[in-house]
Every structure is written in structure tokens, then in C-alpha cells.
């Protein structure tokens, strides 16, 4: 096969043969002398360098000698020798090595004799200097030291002159050799230039011939490539030639065929890729990206035919518990089962969408005008979802809260429908879960109110809208005030007085309960210290600690700082905790409580009897008081069960050496019952409602017999920035 490679090789072969013929004679003549010249040039240059190094070495040795002599008077001969003599000897050793190398390289007998004389002088110089140093400073050796000094100095001067002469001789020889080599190089350059010119002329001729063979084929391949780039994957390149261009054309045709097949595969997989982009990977349901399109189609259909369309927002109740207890894998399996059940409950025209997590949206198409089919469909969904599921041998059961919004009554566009369905679902959650709620306009009003309340709560501390009231705690026997509970109130600038029942859950949800709780703690400490400074009997102030605040790592630091800045003794501060709060993480709670107890802070368990603590855990708590929840006091003495529970709590507290205080005491009958069964203290409207600091001070003075004369200060701590 005649190939393009062969044609190019033939053309350039002529050039190569001619160049070889012209260069053969030049090469043969140069070959004989090149090695000898290189060797001679390298040898002469090396000798000049070594002679220069020898000269430098003797100068460095002399410098070390001078340094030693100069420092001998200041440091002493021994210390000066230790510092400078090794350097001098190293320089002389280097010089001997350079001279030995010169002897090896040189072929001139006179040059070698000169080297030998310098080596001999170098040894004499070193020996003379060492002898001089040995006598320097010794008594009675001044004349001999002087003689040795003169001797090695004369030798050193002779060495310097000899080395200079040796370097001059070597340098002249190297320059002469370099000049000879340069003359030979000029001749070689002219010969090379002549060969390059000849090769250029021949190369141009060959290139012209070869280019004519190549450009035609390249033009055809370029035209083919442009067609393929334009999308004509059916184009093919001509394959008439049998050389490399023919092989390339064949390969490009195969490439075009492969691209054509790949394009067909891409087109066939477009639907699959679109499905992956618009469907949930886990459940296979449509995802949020497809939801809006399905909703628009449903709205358009409802408008065209005068029908209804319903959006159902679904949230699984208890899904987080499954995820936390059985793991994310079990949660994923549960979601798959729920997705399949929802799909099976609905018609083929309806759409089930997973929007994320445990939330789903269902679009019910083509509903009748009276909406009679919606409720049965929702009931079927609830029943299907509530059926037990077995995952990894573990029985699991969840329910669902559903929110329903209907087009066009509950929204004229997609975003409004989704928002209103979500609001209805939130109402279903708040109504006890496992139910469905139809959207009502007041739901959005409640949402807007909640958002406004949330925003107001963020600014309440900065604006100074919070204040504390205090409810006294009274000893059953003496009737004296033994403590007070600090209770927060919010005087909103527009709403007026906002009940803690409204804003405390919101503060817990948003995390604002932490800075609010810190403000309460600081304010209560400052107020109690102010009461003491005003002459009131010392009593403790109780501050409720929220679960979120108790979990904060900075709680201990906050308490210590509040006590330090207010000047209140720690024993007059009591923190009220709930059973459920402590039981969330018992060991961590005990660590925090013990750290605070070590400071002197007291603890009480609030709302005792309503939580889930165990008696074995209760005995480990470093607490001083149990508080009977008002739920067990309210119906005393009429309710036998409440009476039994109250008596049991009192008895349990006394067995654990704890004081027991009853909350919510409002009647004389309740008071007599609690007193008769040994309750230590009481708190409630029977004695006093929560009052402002000045009223509380007056009440305490009345009870303790202190004259009411003189004002009572109301302490306020420095303003604390919200976090």
C-alpha cells in the first residue's frame, strides 16, 4: 500500500542523503580532534581554577592566622587557638588537595616541580606557625618564638608568590587553548551554515510537493467536520485514498456513526431524565418542581368546565419519633409505604406530591360543585395512613394531619391555595392531630397575629416592655412570708397586657426564652437584694427555668453573674424546675444542678405529680422543696383522688426530708386540708395575687410587724441586650 508516510519519507530522504554526504568528511575530521580538544580545554580550565583556589586558600589561612594573633592578647593563646586554628588548618588542607589535583592534571614537568615546592613550603609554614604558637606566651621563650615567627612568615610570603606565579602560568595556558578552540569553532560554524542553507532549499522543494498531496485531503475532511458540527450526523467523508488520510476518513466516518447512535440514545432517554428532575428519588412521586405545573393544569381544567379543584396538605404525625428511634433508613421505608398507600387511595387523575421530609401535597382534580366527594376521600387517606407498618420486624403506626383548600373559594392562584392548605394543616395539628381541617379565613388572621406577636417579642426586652410581679409563699404555721415566686408580665405597646400563656410558648418555639429567662433571673436577683437593703426580712426568690434555658451551657455562668452583679447571696435564690425537664437528660441535669448547688443556689420541683419522673431519680435530685401542682389542689376537698394524691405527695416529700408547698390555694377549705395533713407552705390567691414589688414589700412588712414608714425601692438591673 502506497502511504503518505512513504511519500514524505522519500522526499526528505533525498535531503538527508545529501546532508550525510556533505557532513561525512566534516564529521570524520572533527571526530579525531574533538575529544582531545575537549580534554585539553577542560584540563587547562581546571588547572587555572585549582591554582586560583590554592591562592585563595593561602590567603584565607593567613587571615585565620592574623585573627588568632589579634585575639591572643584579649582571649589568651589557648582560647584564640581553639577559635581560629581549626579554620586555618582546614584552609591549608584544602590547599594541599588543590595542589594534589594540579599534580595529577599537569603533564608539564616544570609545572609539577613548582607544585611540589609549594606543597613543601606549605608544610613548613604550618609547622612553623604551630611551633610559634606553642612558645607564644611562655616565659623564657620569647627569642625562640620570634625566630619561629620570622621563619613561618617568610615561608608564607614565598608560598603566596609561588601560588600567584602558578596561577598565572595556568591561566595563560588556558587562554591559549581557548583561542585555538575558537578558531576551530569558526570553521565548523561556516560549514554548518552551508549545510543548513542547502537543507533549507531542499526542504522547501520537498514541502511544496508534499503539501499538494496533503491540502486536498484536509479540505475534504474540514468540509465533513463542519457538516457534523452543524448537526448533520449522516454525513460521511470520502474514502478513495489508501494512505493515512484514507484511514483517518474511515475513522471519522465511524465517529460520525457513533455520534448518530449516541444522539438517538440521548433522545430516547430524555423522558427518563425529565422524570428524574421532576420526581422524588425516594418515593417516585412528583416533587415540588412538578407540583406547580400540576396545580396550574387543575386550575385551568376547573375554570374551563366549571368544576372544583382541591389541594390537601398532609403532614405525618409522629414521623420524627420513628426517625429518631429506628433510624433514617426505617424512616425512608415508612415514607415509601405511605406514598404507595396514598396513591392507591386516589383516582388516576389525582396527583400525590412529596414536597420534602414527611410532608405531602395531594391535588384532587375535577371535583363536583358541591364538594361531596372530598370528605370521603380524606377519610380513606387517614384510614390508609393509620394502618400499622412492619419495618425490620418492628411494628410502626403513624397518623396524619390534613389541611384542605378548594379552588376557587379558598384561593385564586396556586401560591394562595398552597399557603391556605398549609394553614389548615397547622390548625389540624393544633387540634390534636389525626384529623383534617378545611381552610377558613380566620386561620390566616391567626398566622398574621402570630407573626406580629413573634416580632413584638423580639423587641420587648430592648423596649423595656417586660416587668415582674411576685406572688408570696407563706408558711402554714406562722403565716410569715418565706419566699416569693417571680412571674413575668408583658405590657405590649399596642395590645396592652399580654398573658404569659400567649407569649411563653412562642418564646420557647423561637428560642427567645433564653434571653428572656436571663432577664428574669437578673431582675429577680436585683429586686430581692433591694428588698433586703430596704430592711425587709430575708427570704428567697423563686425563678422558673425553662427547658431550653436549662439546656444552655451558659446557665451556670448566667446565675453566677446575676448573683455577683446584684450582690444577692446564693442561698436566697431558688430555681424552679419541672419533672419532665430534668428527666430529658438526667445525668446532664444532675451535673448542672450539683454545680449550682455548690454555689449555694436552692432548687424546687414545680408542678410535681404531672410529669414522668421516677422515685429512684427523684431521690438523686439536690432539691429543697416539692411544689404540689394546682391541678391537684383545685378540687380539694371535694375530689377524693386529688385529696389522696396531695396527701401522698406531702408524705413522700417529708420522707425525703423535703419541704412541700401547695400552689393555687384559693379557699379556706383547701388551706385547712393541707394544714391538717402537714403541708409546709402555701401559695395562692387566698393569701395574695402576684403583685408589684412595692405592694409585696408592704405585705411583707405587715406580716412581719415592720413599720410601713419609708419608701421601698424597686431594683432594676442594667439593661441586658437581647441575643
**Given this model, what pLDDT does residue 83 score?**
84
Residues 402, 483 share a domain:
no
User: Considering the entire predicted model, what is its pTM?
Assistant: 0.48
Residues 294, 149 share a domain:
no
3-class SS of residue 538:
coil
- CATH number where 23 lies: 1.20.120.1730
User: Alpha-carbon distance 23 to 187, whole Å?
Assistant: 13
Last residue of a domain, one of 439, 460, 488: 439
CB burial class (10 A; 0-12, 13-18, 19+) of residue 170? buried
C-beta neighbour count of 395 within 10 angstroms: 8
Instruction: Match 465511524 to its residue by C-alpha cell.
Output: 254
Evaluate whether residue 119 is within a structural domain: yes
**Given this model, what pLDDT does residue 721 score?**
34
User: Alpha-carbon distance 574 to 580, whole Å?
Assistant: 18
C-beta neighbour count of 273 within 10 angstroms: 10
* Total domain count, the chain: 3
Which pLDDT band, with edges at 50, 70 and 90, does 7 fall under? low
516 Cβ contact partners less than 8 Å away, ≥ 6 residues apart: 460, 461, 466, 488, 507
R_g of the chain, CA atoms, integer Å:
52
Contact 15, 206 (CB under 8 A): yes
User: Alpha-carbon distance 344 to 381, whole Å?
Assistant: 9
% of the chain surpassing 70 pLDDT: 82
Evaluate whether residue 324 is within a structural domain: yes
User: Alpha-carbon distance 417 to 297, whole Å?
Assistant: 14
Residues 572, 476 share a domain:
yes
CA angle (369 as vertex; 367, 371 as ends), nearest 5:
60
User: Alpha-carbon distance 325 to 140, whole Å?
Assistant: 102
Which pLDDT band, with edges at 50, 70 and 90, does 718 fall under? very low
Evaluate whether residue 626 is within a structural domain: yes
Helix (H) or strand (E) holding 650: helix 640-655
User: Alpha-carbon distance 328 to 318, whole Å?
Assistant: 14
The least confident of 179-188, 599-608, 616-625 is 179-188
Contact 525, 562 (CB under 8 A): yes
369 Cβ contact partners less than 8 Å away, ≥ 6 residues apart: 306, 307, 308
Q: 318: alpha, beta or left, given left = phi > 0 and alpha = psi -120 to 50?
A: left
User: Alpha-carbon distance 58 to 38, whole Å?
Assistant: 30
Evaluate whether residue 509 is within a structural domain: yes
Which of 635, 584, 574 has its CA nearest to residue 606? 574
- Check residue 679 and report its DSSP letter: -
Evaluate whether residue 214 is within a structural domain: no
Task: Tell me how far apart the terminal alpha carbons of the chain are, to the nearest angstrom.
Answer: 86
Contact 199, 15 (CB under 8 A): yes
Which pLDDT band, with edges at 50, 70 and 90, does 414 fall under? confident
Evaluate whether residue 544 is within a structural domain: yes
Question: Higher-confidence residue: 449 or 721?
Answer: 449
Question: Higher-confidence residue: 336 or 170?
Answer: 336
Residues 51, 171 share a domain:
yes
Residues 455, 434 share a domain:
no
CA atoms within 13 A on the CB side of 150: 5
Residue 295: all three cell numbers together:
396545580
Could you please report the per-residue DSSP string of 429-454?
A: HHTTSSSEEE--HHHHHHHHHHHHHH
The least confident of 385-399, 501-515, 697-711 is 697-711
Task: Check pLDDT > 50 for residue 247.
Answer: yes
Residues 534, 424 share a domain:
no
Residue 634 backbone phi and psi in degrees, to 5: -55, -45
Residues 567, 502 share a domain:
yes
Residues 344, 374 share a domain:
yes
Residues 617, 593 share a domain:
yes
CB burial class (10 A; 0-12, 13-18, 19+) of residue 415? exposed
User: Alpha-carbon distance 482 to 184, whole Å?
Assistant: 119
Residues 172, 314 share a domain:
no
C-beta neighbour count of 536 within 10 angstroms: 18
User: Alpha-carbon distance 73 to 301, whole Å?
Assistant: 114
**Given this model, what pLDDT does residue 616 score?**
62
**Helix axes 109-135 and 142-229, enclosed angle (nearest 10):** 120
pLDDT tens digit string along 477-534?
888 899 999 999 998 877 888 888 888 888 887 788 888 999 999 999 999 999 999 9
pLDDT tens digit string along 646-701?
999 899 889 888 899 999 999 999 999 999 999 999 999 988 999 999 999 998 88
Residues 368, 467 share a domain:
no
Residue 499: all three cell numbers together:
398573658
Task: Check pLDDT > 80 for residue 180.
Answer: no
CB burial class (10 A; 0-12, 13-18, 19+) of residue 325? exposed
- CATH number where 357 lies: 3.30.70.270
- CATH number where 580 lies: 3.20.20.450
Evaluate whether residue 195 is within a structural domain: no
Residues 178, 140 share a domain:
yes
Contact 405, 366 (CB under 8 A): no
Task: Check pLDDT > 50 for residue 183.
Answer: yes
Helix (H) or strand (E) holding 474: strand 466-475
Instruction: Match 421532576 to its residue by C-alpha cell.
Output: 278
pLDDT tens digit string along 550-561?
888 888 999 999
**Given this model, what pLDDT does residue 361 score?**
93
Last residue of a domain, one of 439, 469, 493: 439
Find the domain containing 46 and state its range: 4-188
Last residue of a domain, one of 134, 154, 188: 188
Task: Check pLDDT > 70 for residue 242.
Answer: no
Evaluate whether residue 105 is within a structural domain: yes
Which pLDDT band, with edges at 50, 70 and 90, does 37 fall under? low
Amino acid at each position: 500500500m502506497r502511504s503518505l508516510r512513504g511519500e514524505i519519507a522519500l522526499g526528505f530522504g533525498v535531503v538527508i542523503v545529501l546532508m550525510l554526504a556533505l557532513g561525512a568528511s566534516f564529521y570524520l575530521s572533527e571526530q579525531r580532534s574533538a575529544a582531545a580538544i575537549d580534554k585539553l580545554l577542560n584540563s587547562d580550565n581546571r588547572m587555572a581554577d585549582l591554582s586560583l583556589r590554592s591562592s585563595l586558600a593561602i590567603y584565607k589561612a593567613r587571615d585565620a592566622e592574623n585573627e588568632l594573633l589579634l585575639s591572643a592578647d584579649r582571649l589568651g593563646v589557648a582560647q584564640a587557638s581553639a577559635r581560629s586554628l581549626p579554620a586555618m588548618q582546614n584552609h591549608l588542607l584544602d590547599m594541599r588537595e588543590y595542589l594534589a589535583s594540579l599534580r595529577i592534571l599537569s603533564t608539564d614537568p616544570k609545572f609539577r616541580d613548582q607544585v611540589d615546592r609549594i606543597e613543601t613550603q606549605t608544610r613548613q609554614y604550618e609547622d612553623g606557625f604551630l611551633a610559634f604558637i606553642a612558645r607564644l606566651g611562655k616565659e623564657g621563650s620569647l627569642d625562640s618564638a620570634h625566630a619561629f615567627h620570622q621563619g613561618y612568615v617568610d615561608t608564607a610570603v614565598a608560598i603566596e608568590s609561588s601560588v600567584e606565579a602558578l596561577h598565572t602560568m595556568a591561566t595563560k595556558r588556558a587562554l591559549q587553548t581557548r583561542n585555538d578552540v575558537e578558531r576551530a569553532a569558526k570553521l565548523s560554524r561556516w560549514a554548518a551554515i552551508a549545510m543548513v542553507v542547502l537543507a533549507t532549499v531542499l526542504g522547501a522543494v520537498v514541502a511544496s510537493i508534499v503539501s499538494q498531496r496533503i491540502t486536498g485531503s484536509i479540505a475534504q475532511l474540514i468540509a465533513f467536520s463542519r457538516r457534523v458540527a452543524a448537526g448533520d450526523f449522516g454525513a460521511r467523508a470520502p474514502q478513495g485514498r489508501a494512505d493515512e488520510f484514507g484511514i483517518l476518513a474511515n475513522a471519522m466516518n465511524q465517529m460520525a456513526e457513533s455520534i448518530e447512535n449516541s444522539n438517538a440514545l440521548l433522545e430516547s432517554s430524555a423522558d427518563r431524565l425529565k422524570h428524574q428532575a421532576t420526581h422524588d428519588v425516594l418515593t417516585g412521586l412528583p416533587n415540588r418542581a412538578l407540583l406547580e405545573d400540576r396545580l396550574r393544569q387543575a386550575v385551568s381544567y376547573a375554570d374551563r368546565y366549571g368544576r372544583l379543584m382541591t389541594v390537601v396538605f398532609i403532614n405525618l404525625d409522629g414521623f420524627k419519633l420513628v426517625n429518631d428511634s429506628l433510624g433514617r433508613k426505617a424512616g425512608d421505608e415508612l415514607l415509601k409505604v405511605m406514598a404507595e398507600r396514598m396513591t392507591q387511595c386516589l383516582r388516576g387523575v389525582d396527583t400525590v406530591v412529596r414536597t420534602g421530609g414527611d410532608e405531602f401535597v395531594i391535588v384532587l382534580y375535577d371535583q363536583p360543585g358541591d364538594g361531596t366527594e372530598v370528605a370521603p376521600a380524606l377519610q380513606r387517606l387517614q384510614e390508609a395512613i393509620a394502618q400499622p407498618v412492619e419495618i425490620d420486624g418492628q411494628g410502626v403506626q403513624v397518623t396524619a394531619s390534613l389541611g384542605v383548600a378548594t379552588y376557587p373559594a379558598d384561593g385564586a392562584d396556586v401560591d394562595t391555595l398552597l399557603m391556605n392548605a398549609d394553614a389548615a394543616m397547622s390548625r389540624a395539628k393544633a387540634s390534636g392531630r389525626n384529623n383534617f381541617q378545611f381552610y377558613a379565613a380566620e386561620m390566616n388572621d391567626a398566622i398574621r397575629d402570630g407573626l406580629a406577636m413573634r416580632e413584638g417579642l423580639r423587641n420587648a426586652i430592648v423596649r423595656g416592655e417586660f416587668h415582674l410581679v411576685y406572688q408570696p409563699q407563706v408558711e402554714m404555721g406562722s403565716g410569715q412570708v418565706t419566699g416569693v415566686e417571680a412571674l413575668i408580665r408583658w405590657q405590649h405597646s399596642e395590645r396592652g397586657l399580654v398573658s404569659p400563656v400567649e407569649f411563653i410558648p412562642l418564646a420557647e418555639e423561637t428560642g427567645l426564652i433564653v434571653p428572656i429567662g436571663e432577664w428574669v433571673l437578673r431582675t429577680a436577683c436585683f429586686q430581692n437584694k433591694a428588698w433586703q437593703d430596704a430592711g425587709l426580712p430575708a427570704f428567697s426568690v423563686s425563678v422558673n427555668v425553662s427547658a431550653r434555658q436549662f439546656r444552655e451551657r451558659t446557665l451556670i455562668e448566667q446565675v453566677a453573674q446575676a448573683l455577683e452583679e446584684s450582690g444577692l447571696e446564693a442561698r436566697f435564690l431558688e430555681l424552679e424546675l419541672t419533672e419532665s425537664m430534668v428527666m430529658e437528660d438526667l445525668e446532664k441535669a444532675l451535673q448542672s444542678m450539683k454545680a449550682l448547688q455548690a454555689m449555694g443556689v436552692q432548687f424546687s420541683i414545680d408542678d410535681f405529680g404531672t410529669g414522668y419522673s421516677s422515685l429512684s431519680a427523684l431521690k438523686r435530685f439536690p432539691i429543697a422543696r416539692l411544689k404540689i401542682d394546682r391541678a391537684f389542689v383545685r378540687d380539694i376537698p371535694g375530689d377524693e383522688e386529688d385529696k389522696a394524691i396531695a396527701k401522698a405527695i406531702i408524705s413522700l416529700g417529708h420522707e425525703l426530708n423535703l419541704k412541700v408547698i401547695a400552689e393555687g390555694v384559693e379557699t379556706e377549705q383547701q388551706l385547712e386540708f393541707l394544714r391538717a395533713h402537714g403541708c409546709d407552705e402555701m401559695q395562692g390567691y387566698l393569701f395574695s395575687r402576684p403583685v408589684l414589688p412595692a405592694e409585696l414589700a408592704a405585705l411583707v412588712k405587715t406580716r412581719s410587724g415592720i413599720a410601713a414608714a419609708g419608701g421601698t425601692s424597686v431594683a432594676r438591673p442594667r439593661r441586658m441586650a437581647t441575643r
